[in-house]
Every structure is written in C-alpha cells, then in structure tokens.
Structure 1
Amino acid sequence: MNYIYFFCIAFIGGYVGTKIKVPAGSLIGSMFAVGLWQYTHPTDPLEVSNYVRWIGQWLLGMSFGLLFIKKKFKVSKKLIVVLFLFGIISVLYSFFVASVVYLFGETNFVSSFLASVQGGFAEMLILTESINENVTIVALFHFLRVFLLLLIIPFALNWLKRKEKGL
C-alpha cells in the first residue's frame, strides 16, 4: 500500500509542478510533494526499496542522456577553455561556501560541500545518498537555491531587458 501512496503523491506533485509551469516541474513538483508528505507525516513516512530508487535514478539518467545531441556539442576551443576555468572557479567557490556553512552550520564538511556545490538538484541528491551523507540538508540547500533562483531570475532578466531598451 505504501508504494501506491508514494507513486500517487509523486505523480500528483509532478503533474501540479508541470501544470503551473515550474521549470523541471515534474521533478521539482514530485520531490516537493513527497518531501511535504514526509515532513507532515513524521509518524507515517513513505518508504520505498532501494530497487525503486534505482529505477528512478536509471530513468533520470536516461532522460539526461537523451539531451546529448552531437550537433549541440560543436564548440570552439576558446569556449572549452572558458568552461573549464569556470568549472574550476565554481568548485573553489563551493569550497569557500562549504567552509562557511561548516563553520556556522550544524553539519559536516562533506555535506556542506554537497549542499554548496553548483550542480543539478537531482544529481547532488543521488550523489549525497550514494555516499551516505545528510540528504536532508543537501536537499534543503538545493531546494532553497532553486526556489530563490526561480523567484529572482525572472525579475532580474525583465529589469535587464527594460534597461537595455532604455525604459
């Protein structure tokens, strides 16, 4: 019976996330719905086997793999260098933020780093779970990051567009 609840809650959350046009709505919506259930029902949490989690990760990996199209990977050497440098700067920045979180937070450095690194929400949670770190804190950090980005970025882009047009 737990599996039926799990799939129904995840499906409804994904459906709502898609309908209200949240970026990656099915992913964010289902995660939010299941997380909300877990938070509001601490005495009756949903639990699924590692096999179900593996299937979910497999489907996620498959859908990400479909995004790789050879035509889209034709980039200049100059851009590759810039992307590589950006990656290094991003990791160094993440170490700095993780150090601050570690010093002032109530979590270990590895969880702090996984919470601070700029990566995909799902990928960071899968990585965190696979190395037995604090999934809850990492999920919370990434959820808040994505939530704030979804709130701030549209307004910032509209402001920049108006400024470019001289309004």
Structure 2
Amino acid sequence: MSGALPLPERAKPIAALTLAALAGWLFSLLNSPLPWLIGPMLVVAAAQMLGADLHVPRGLRFGGQWIVGGAIGLYFTPPVLAMLPGLLPWIILGLAASILLSMLAAKVLAHYAGIDPVTALYASFLGGAAEMANLAERSGALVDRVAAAQSVRIILVVVLIPFAFRWADLHGADSYATASLVFDAPGFVLLMGATFAAGLVCHLLRLPNAWLVGPVFASIALNAAGHASSIMPVALVDVAQVLIGCSLGTKFSREFFHAAPRFMLVSTLCSAAVLLGSSLGAVILGWLAGLPAPTLILGMAPGGIAEMSLTAGLLQLGVPVVVAFQLTRLLVVVSSASLMHRAAMRWLLR
C-alpha cells in the first residue's frame, strides 16, 4: 500500500470506516466471535501496518462506547443490584490480584526492556489506555511507549479470549437478562437521552472512560427506577462495535513495532503472562466464591470493559458480574495510579 496515492485527509475517516464495516461483515460470514469488533480492529490495524495512515475522529469511538454503555447497563435489573454487594469481597480480592500482576509485569518490563520504571509502571497498569497515557505524561514517562503497550495488551486480550472461549466451547447459562426484551420507541429515546447526558457530564468532569462509565450508570439508574422499557437494538450495538474496533485499529502504524522492537516484544510477552495469571487467579477465585470461572476470567481479564462485556453477553457469561469487576478495577487504578506509582518506585529501582 506504500506505493498507492495518499488519501486526502478528509477521505481517511470514510476509508477507515468503510474498511471496518466490510471487515465486520466478512468476519460475520466466517462466524467469528465478536465479528463486528474483532474484524474491524484486525483489518484496519493490518492496513495501518501496510502504510495506509488512516484515522477517525475520537468522537466516533466515544459514540460507540456510549451505545455499548447504555446496552450494558440494561442488565442491571433490581435483583442483580441486590446481589452485587455480596460480590464485593471477591471483587476486592480480584482487584488486589490484578494490581499485583501489573506490578510484577512492570518489574519485568523495566528490567528486560531497558526502560525507566515510571514508563514501565504506566505501561503495565490495568487501567484505560487513554487514561494511563495522560497520567504517564504528567509523571514524565514516555507517553508513546505507554500508549503502545496499553494498545497491544487490549488487542491481545480482545482477540485471544473470544477465540479461546470459542475453541474450548465455553458458554454460560447465566439467567441474566435485560430489563426489557422488546423495542419501545419512547423508552429507547429516553435511554439514549439519559445515557448521552450522563456521558457528557462525565466527560466534562474528566472521569475515566467517561462515555462508557456515564452511560452505564445512567442505564442502571433507569433500571432501578423502573423506566428501562426498551432494548438496545442489536444492529445499533453492531455499529458501535465497528466504531470501537476501527478506532483501536487506527492506533497502529508501520513504525509501531519498528521504533522500539525490544520494548514491544517484552511488553507483548508481559501482557500474555498477565492474561494467563489473571485467568488462573479467576479459576481459583471462582472455586472459592462458587462463581463460574469463565465469567470471572472475563471479569479479571486485562482488557477493556466494553470488549469483555460484549464477550460476556455473546457467551451468556454474567454481564453484570463482568462489569462489576472491570469497572471497579478501572476506577480504582485510574484514581490511585499516582499513589501506587510513588509507593512502588523504591521496589522497582532495586
């Protein structure tokens, strides 16, 4: 693609979205898990590695997160909300295990990739990629390395877990369902309006993953108040996945792995090790708590809330439980990353 004529700047988002939509359609024909997310992500990333130089406005990914967040919150029916406090001890234990794994990964990354401990820490923290990059910049870390490591980890998890679950034929029979099973136009308008307003407020307050977290909480509030009278249309959720997958794919470029091959290799291996460690921890936690291990694997996976929740919904693996684990980790890690950074520096410098 390097010999092709460069696209005008205005045409690049259209080209990226067209390629992403075609990739989603193709992967759906191939019966891939999460085809409308994984297909666009992989194909657009491949095009980028070949020199396509595509990009999409950040607002499109925010739009995808808004839709997915609204859909996720519909699973939090009053009986589910009443059940969640009983999960708190296990959520805290899972959070502690995730933080320990990220610290160990940072130690290995700093030692074997030859980078400073601050960059290693923010590259290994299991928080949102954008949030970790922003915090890394304030702490004097190498922002490009942090963003690269976080992006690779998310893509690795998003690809490996759904395909591994498909290969192992892991499906749940969890009784979780959305508050409504039908489409209702007035209820849908209320859902979209409330979730958009919540996302905008969280964005203005600079909360982590604002356009996902805000709509999730707004959707939960509608459920709790008994006003969730409509489902989120499946086609709209598919469009949201295309937007998210396309945005993730555009993070890559031809120079992505060439700039620091040793760092990227060690970072990828660390991400794989953290995924394996979190999966083993989830199996043990599931045995102790009497919860399905596949559900906890998704809840503790070092991926994003949207991607893991979509996988849980596809496989009927307890979406509310997955969201509770993932959301708690995101909020705690992002809010305390600077504190953990200071606390871990002496150990990392040994």
TM-score range, shorter chain: 0.7 to 0.9
Provide the TM-score with structure 1 as the length reference: 0.82
State whether residues 13 and 34 of structure 1, in contact with CA within 8 Å, keep that contact through their aligned partners in structure 2. Answer: no
**How big is the alpha-carbon RMSD for the aligned residues of Structure 1 and Structure 2?**
2.4
State whether residues 187 and 227 of structure 2, in contact with CA within 8 Å, keep that contact through their aligned partners in structure 1. Answer: no
Identify the match of residue 247 of structure 2 among 44, 48, 63: 63
State whether residues 17 and 30 of structure 1, in contact with CA within 8 Å, keep that contact through their aligned partners in structure 2. Answer: no
Letter in 2 for 1:141: F
Structure ID, larger Rg: 2
Identify the match of residue 74 of structure 1 among 258, 261, 264: 258
Provide the TM-score with structure 2 as the length reference: 0.42
Unaligned runs of 5+ in 1: none
Structure 1 Cα separation of the partners of residues 227 and 290 of structure 2: 24
Counterpart in the other structure of 1:138 = 322
Quote the offset at 1:94 in angstroms: 0.9
Quote the offset at 1:74 in angstroms: 2.7
Higher relative contact order (CA 8 A, sep 6+): 2
Q: Does 1:33 pair with 2:213?
A: no
In structure 2, do the counterparts of structure 1 residues 160 and 72 end up closer, same or farther at CA, with 3 Å as the change threshold? same
Structure 1 Cα separation of the partners of residues 342 and 207 of structure 2: 18
Structure 1 Cα separation of the partners of residues 239 and 334 of structure 2: 28
Structure 2 Cα separation of the partners of residues 73 and 12 of structure 1: 39
Structure 1 Cα separation of the partners of residues 254 and 221 of structure 2: 39
Counterpart in the other structure of 1:15 = 200
Secondary structure of the residue aligned to 1:101 is helix
Counterpart in the other structure of 2:187 = 2
Quote the offset at 1:49 in angstroms: 2.2
Secondary structure of the residue aligned to 1:70 is coil
Structure 2 Cα separation of the partners of residues 64 and 95 of structure 1: 23
Q: Does 1:87 pair with 2:87?
A: no
Give percent identity, aligned residues only: 19
Higher helix share: 1
Deviates more, 1:145-154 or 1:108-117: 145-154
Identify the match of residue 303 of structure 2 among 103, 115, 119: 119
In structure 2, do the counterparts of structure 1 residues 132 and 59 end up closer, same or farther at CA, with 3 Å as the change threshold? same
For residues 102-156 of structure 1, give each alpha carbon's deviation from its aligned partner in whole angstroms, at most 9, with x where no partner exists. Answer: 1122421110111111111111111211222111100010011011112211333
Letter in 1 for 2:288: F
Identify the match of residue 238 of structure 2 among 34, 42, 54: 54
Quote the offset at 1:52 in angstroms: 2.1
Deviates more, 1:116-125 or 1:151-160: 151-160
Letter in 1 for 2:187: N
Quote the offset at 1:42 in angstroms: 4.9
How many aligned positions are there?
161
Quote the offset at 1:159 in angstroms: 6.7
